[in-house]
Chain A
Amino acid sequence: MSDDYYVCTGCALLCDDISVKVEEEKLTAVHAACRKGVAFMKGCSHPMEAKINGEKADAESAIKEASKILKSAEKPLIFGHANSSNAAQLKAIELARKTNAYLDDTSSFCQGPLIEAIMEDKLKTCTLDDVRHKADVIIFWGSDPASAHPRHMSRYSYFPRGKERQRGWEEDRTVIAIDVRKSDTAEICGKNGLYQIPVKGDAEFMDALVSALSGKVPKTSYDFDKKRLLELSSIMKKAKFGIIFAGLGMVYSLEDNEPLYRLMEKLNSVSNFHVIPMSGHYNMVGFNKNLFEETGYINRVKFESGEIKHGPEYSVVEALRKKDVDAALVIGADPYSSLPRSISRNFEDIPLIVIDPCQTLTSTRADVTIPCGLVGVESGGTAVRMDGVEVELKQIVESGRLSDEDVMTKILEGL
Chain B
Amino acid sequence: MATVMEIYQLLPKTNCKECGKSTCMAFAVDLLARKFKVEDCKPLVNEDKYKENYQKLSEMITPVGDVTETGLIVHEDKCIGCGNCVVACPVNVAADPAGAGSGKAPTSEKVILKVEDGVVRAMNVQECRRFGENKILCVACIDTCPTKAIEFV
Which residues of A are at the interface with B, using a C-beta cutoff of 8 A?
Answer: 5, 17-19, 29-39, 132, 146, 150-151, 153-156, 158-162, 168-169, 184-185, 187-188
The answer to whether A34 touches B117 (Cβ under 8 A) is no
A159 with B146: CB separation less than 8 A: no
Partner of B116, one of A31, A169, A184: A31
* A38→B82 contact, CB < 8 A: no
Instruction: Say yes or no: B146 contacts A155, CB within 8 Å.
Output: no
B84 near A18: Cβ-Cβ < 8 Å? no
A34 touches B80 (CB 8 A): yes
User: CB-defined interface of B63-92 with A at 8 Å, one 1/0 digit per residue?
Assistant: 000000000000000011111101110000
Select which of A19, A32, A33, A184 is within 8 A of B146 by beta carbon: A184
Which residue of B82, B115, B144 has the most chain A CB atoms within 10 A of its CB atom? B82
Give B86-106 as 1s and 0s: 1 = Cβ < 8 Å from A's Cβ atoms.
111000010001000111111
* Count of chain B residues with a beta carbon within 8 Å of a chain A beta carbon: 27
- B15 adjacent to chain A (CB < 8 Å): no
Q: Is B144 within 8 A of A159, CB to CB? A: yes
Would you give the shortest CB distance from B26 to chain A, in whole angstroms? 34
Is the CB of B132 closer than 8 A to any CB of chain A? no
Question: Contact between B115 and A146 (Cβ–Cβ < 8 Å)?
Answer: no
Q: Is the CB of A159 within 8 A of B103?
A: yes
Q: Given the interface contacts A168-B93, A185-B146, A188-B146, does A153 sit within 8 Å of B117 by beta carbon?
A: no
- Give chain B nearest CB distance to A289 CB in angstroms: 25
Partner of A38, one of B97, B114, B117: B117
How far is A38 from B80 in the complex, measured between Cα atoms in Å? 10
User: Contacts A32-B115, A35-B119, A37-B118 given: A161-B97 contact, CB under 8 Å?
Assistant: yes
Contact of B82 among A5, A30, A39, A153 (CB under 8 A): A153
Given known contacts A36-B80, A155-B83, A161 and B93 CB-to-CB distance under 8 angstroms: yes
> Does B87 lie within 8 Å of A160, measured CB to CB?
yes
**Shortest distance from the beta carbon of B122 to any chain A beta carbon, whole Å:** 15
How many A-B residue pairs have C-beta atoms within 8 angstroms? Tell me.
Answer: 97
User: B147 interface residue, CB < 8 Å from A?
Assistant: yes
Cβ-defined contact, B105 with A5, below 8 A: yes
A154, B97: Cβ atoms under 8 Å?
Answer: no
Residues of B within 8 A of A168 (CB): 88, 93
Contact of B102 among A161, A184, A187 (CB under 8 A): A161
Please tell me if the beta carbons of B103 and A155 are within 8 angstroms of each other in the complex.
yes
Task: Kindly list chain A residues whose C-beta atoms are within 8 Å of the C-beta of B97.
Answer: 161
Distance A156 CA – B106 CA, assembled complex (angstroms): 15
Check A33/B81 contact, CB under 8 A, given A159-B87, A169-B88.
yes
Specify which of A17, A38, A161 is in contact with B118 (CB 8 Å cutoff). Answer: A38
Q: Could you tell me if A35 and B81 are in contact, using CB atoms closer than 8 angstroms? A: yes
Given contacts A17-B105, A146-B80, A161-B93, contact A30 B117 (CB under 8 A): yes
With a cutoff of 8 Å between Cβ atoms, the chain B residues found around residue A35 in the complex are 79-81, 118-119
Instruction: Give B37 Cβ to nearest chain A Cβ, in Å.
Output: 29
What distance in Å separates the Cβ of B49 from its nearest Cβ neighbour in chain A? 38
CA distance A184 to B145 in the complex (A): 9
Contact of B84 among A19, A32, A38, A159 (CB under 8 A): A159
Separation in Å of the A41 CB from the closest CB of chain B? Answer: 10
Chain A residues, CB < 8 A from B106? 32
On whether the beta carbons of A188 and B81 are closer than 8 Å, the reply is: no
Provide the bound-state CA to CA distance between A169 and B143, in Å. Answer: 12
Q: Inside 8 A of A32's CB, which chain B residues have their CB?
A: 83, 104-106, 115
How far does the Cβ of B123 sit from chain A's closest Cβ, in whole Å?
13
Residues of A within 8 A of B102 (CB): 132, 160-162
| A residues in contact with B147, CB < 8 Å | 146, 184
Closest 7 CB pairs of A and B: A160-B103, A32-B105, A38-B118, A146-B146, A35-B118, A184-B146, A150-B82
Contacts of B144 in A (CB 8 A): 159, 169, 188
Chain B residues within an 8 Å CB radius of A38? 81, 117-118
Bound-state Cα–Cα, A29 to B106, Å: 16
Contact A151 B93 (CB under 8 A): no
The CB with the most chain B CB atoms within 10 A, among A30, A158, A160, is that of A160
Q: Is the CB of A29 within 8 A of B117?
A: yes
- Collect the chain B residues with CB atoms within 8 Å of residue A34's CB: 80-83, 115, 118
CB-CB under 8 A from A132, the residues of chain B are 102-103
Q: Which of B102, B103, B105 has the most CB of A within 10 A?
A: B103
Closest to A188 in B: B146
Over the window 39-60 of chain B, the binary record of Cβ atoms lying under 8 Å from chain A Cβ atoms (1 yes, 0 no) is 0000000000000000000000
- If A5-B105, A151-B82 touch, whether A30 touches B118 (CB-CB below 8 Å) is yes
A155 CA to B79 CA in the complex, in Å?
17
Given contacts A36-B81, A39-B118, A132-B102, 7 further A-B contacts (CB under 8 A): A32-B105, A32-B106, A146-B80, A150-B82, A155-B103, A159-B84, A160-B87
